[in-house]
């Protein structure tokens, strides 16, 4: 059965390039990004892992832990990691899981028979501190993911989890947001004392809350 947004992210224990990972323990109290790769030594994945490594500080300041996953053996990861550093200019600095039996790939529905019976598709999950899936994205093997977009979505998820707002199309951190319809005008006066712009009764624009 497919994992849906709002589901509890399945727990697992796997070996990684940084030791044994007990997933729910690993993410305790943090946000997490879990993303899969069809196979080691593939060109698109090499660029993705290198770029993700360069974003280490960006993920850290958002309290996000990153995990990569491949169905290849742990001993095969070391050679690929050297290639990533050589070609992308950044060393692997987050755990890369070795899902050799496809256990996690099956739990997270990362293997699609219509694409390939053994290789994972390029799946990505954002998981909250409550261990619930907040975002899932799938790309074909030929298309690299946009990790700047992943950071943007995490900014939105963290903001909207704390305040009763939603983020509009193409929103970037620091821009105006929308008061959710569940918040009445009476309640909104207390929550947003600076006021808002009412485009329509259901579309109320307000500066992004701070803190």
Active-site residue list: 45
Q: Which of 135, 168, 12, 70 is nearest to 81 (CA)?
A: 70
Cα–Cα nearest to 5, from 127, 103, 105: 127
8 Å CB contact between 122 and 140: yes
37 closest CA partner among 139, 128, 114:
139
Burial class (CB in 10 A: 0-12, 13-18, 19+), 150: buried
């Amino acid at each position: 059965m497919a994992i849906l947004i709002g589901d509890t992210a399945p727990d697992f224990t796997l070996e990684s390039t940084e030791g044994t990972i007990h997933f729910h323990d690993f993410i305790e109290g943090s946000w997490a990004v879990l993303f899969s790769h069809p196979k080691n030594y593939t060109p698109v994945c090499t660029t993705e892992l290198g770029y993700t490594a360069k974003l280490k500080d960006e993920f850290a300041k958002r309290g996000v832990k990153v995990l990569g996953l491949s169905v290849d053996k742990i001993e095969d990861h070391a050679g690929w990691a050297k290639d990533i550093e050589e070609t992308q200019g950044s060393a692997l600095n987050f755990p890369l899981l070795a899902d050799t039996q496809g256990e996690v790939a099956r739990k997270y529905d990362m293997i699609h028979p219509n694409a390939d019976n053994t290789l994972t598709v390029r799946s990505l999950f954002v998981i909250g501190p409550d261990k619930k899936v907040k975002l899932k994205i799938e790309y074909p093997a030929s298309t690299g993911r946009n990790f700047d977009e992943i950071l943007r979505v995490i900014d939105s998820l963290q903001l909207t989890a704390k305040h009763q707002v939603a983020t509009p199309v193409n929103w970037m951190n620091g821009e105006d947001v929308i008061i959710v319809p569940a918040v009445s005008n009476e309640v909104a006066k207390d929550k947003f004392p600076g006021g808002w712009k009412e485009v329509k009764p259901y579309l109320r624009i307000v500066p992004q809350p701070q803190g």
